Amino acid sequence: MSILNNIHKTKLDKSSFILDDNKKYSYLDLQKDFTKFKRLKLSDGLIINVCENEFSFLSGYISFLNLRIPQLLVDNDISEKYLLNIIKIYKPKYIFTPKQKTIFLKKKIILENKNYNLYELNYKLYPMHKSIALLISTSGSTGSKKFVKLSFNNILDNTKNICKYLKITKFDSTITTMSPAYSYGLSVINSHLLQNAKIVLTKKKIVDKKFWEIFKKNNITNFNAVPFLYEILLKLGLNILNTKTLKFLTSAGGVIDNNKLKKIIEFCEKKNFLFFSMYGQTEASPRISYIEYPKNKRKLGSIGKPIPGGKLFLKKKELIYKGKNIFCGYSENDKDLSKIENYKHLSTGDLGFKKKGFFYLTGRKKRIIKIFGYRISLDELENEILESGHKCALKGADEKLIVVYEKKNSMKWILNSLLKKNKILKGKIIFKNVKKIPMTSNNKINYNKI
């Protein structure tokens, strides 16, 4: 049985987790922590789990999954104001957070788990559907209260299928490059947990020399990153990945420019590595399709074929997906957790075409861009700025946001506002000052003329 749904019945290995401070933990340590959580006899109330790439978080996350207690995941980097707002909206029974978050010190601590504390809050229990396992945000905006509801079956089904096409085994090892609060980052952790493989947990960034020391020391076989990180790797030099143990690389959370993709594929072909470009959405838990390079290098830019167990087809040029990993609805408050939706298919909002069995993207139905793998709604951001009295228009593509504004003194305010809500936008914004923002005949912004 899998550690994702039966930690107490799983045969566990003795050496699997390694932190970047060289402190070692094993799957047996996970089991010991699970026993501690189990003894608490926690109620079925919601837990807000504040995510960091460290063992304390991981043992809590996997224990709550096994105890079938729903979790709302947020990144440790979010603002105190946003976290308190999410608590007010969702009224959790517990919060599991790094000890350095002092705003909860006056709350009741019911368990100290290494670097984390589990606090009990004063909210009353409310009805929650027993299928809900996780609430994960799709947005990079730190003001969003909208979360995707994923069931236990959604997560397990998608994780099993990821392991199938990547051929992950207990002999594999990976290193964290993304937050576990992000669906792609979490899926990397889940797929290696499922196979009892080694996970090197680190908060170091790939621009840090220490990251690569850890990478080489721990004989990493699988490297995973969003397109933005591959841009950095191309600047650092792809040779930094060249080790005797590396087997494959994966990318998801956006599109890699074809010229850059060619360089990555050529490097992998030369070094005998595999490169998997993957497509998905948080609503699909999160993987939908994949393509393996270099063997499909003539299909450059394709999102490939659906994952095992999934079906992908086109309807009026929009990509539609069917599979057991389709989410069970959105939530914007505690009341939305009493029910789930049983969707027969997922309308991705992405437009594309199919050629010789492989799918390709051509654009999006809505004004949404992806930066660092997170979805950013241009309409939402634009409306927030307009409501503050600063006339502007937003346009963009993946990894780039264009802000067109009229008043010269607006630029500083807009920049501060955007970065306050979306730290990931730093270095991705282009400003253009114009006398008048172009409008259509029916008085709407003419984005084609920006």
Q: What is the pTM of this model?
A: 0.86
What pLDDT score was predicted for residue 117?
A: 96
What residues form DSSP beta bridges with 111? 118
> Which domains, from first to last, does the chain contain?
7-363 (3.40.50.12780), 368-449 (3.30.300.30)
**How far, CA to CA in Å, does 153 sit from each of 131, 289, 330, 419?**
8, 19, 17, 36
Question: One digit per residue, pLDDT tens: the chain, 450 residues?
Answer: 356 666 656 656 666 787 767 789 989 899 999 999 999 999 989 999 999 999 999 999 999 999 999 999 999 988 888 999 999 999 999 999 999 988 887 889 999 999 999 999 999 999 999 999 999 998 755 568 999 999 999 999 999 999 999 999 999 999 999 999 999 999 999 999 999 999 999 999 999 999 999 999 999 999 999 998 999 999 999 999 999 999 999 999 988 989 999 999 999 999 999 999 999 999 999 999 999 999 999 999 999 999 999 999 999 999 999 999 999 999 999 999 999 999 999 999 999 999 999 999 988 888 888 888 788 888 888 888 887 889 899 998 888 899 999 988 888 888 888 887 777 677 889 999 999 998 876 667 888 888
Q: 225-235 burial, b for 16+ CB within 10 Å, e for fewer?
A: bbbbbbeebbe
What pLDDT score was predicted for residue 419?
A: 82
State the DSSP string of 366-434. SSEEEETTEEEEHHHHHHHHHHTT--EEEEEETTEEEEEESSTTHHHHHHHHHHHH-GGGTT-EEEEE-
Tokens read off for 178:
């993304």
What pLDDT score was predicted for residue 347?
A: 97
Closest CA to 124 of 45, 177, 53: 45
Helices (H), ranges, 201-292 = 209-217, 227-236, 258-271
**How far, CA to CA in Å, does 149 sit from each of 137, 322, 416?**
9, 17, 32
What pLDDT score was predicted for residue 373?
A: 79
What pLDDT score was predicted for residue 371?
A: 85
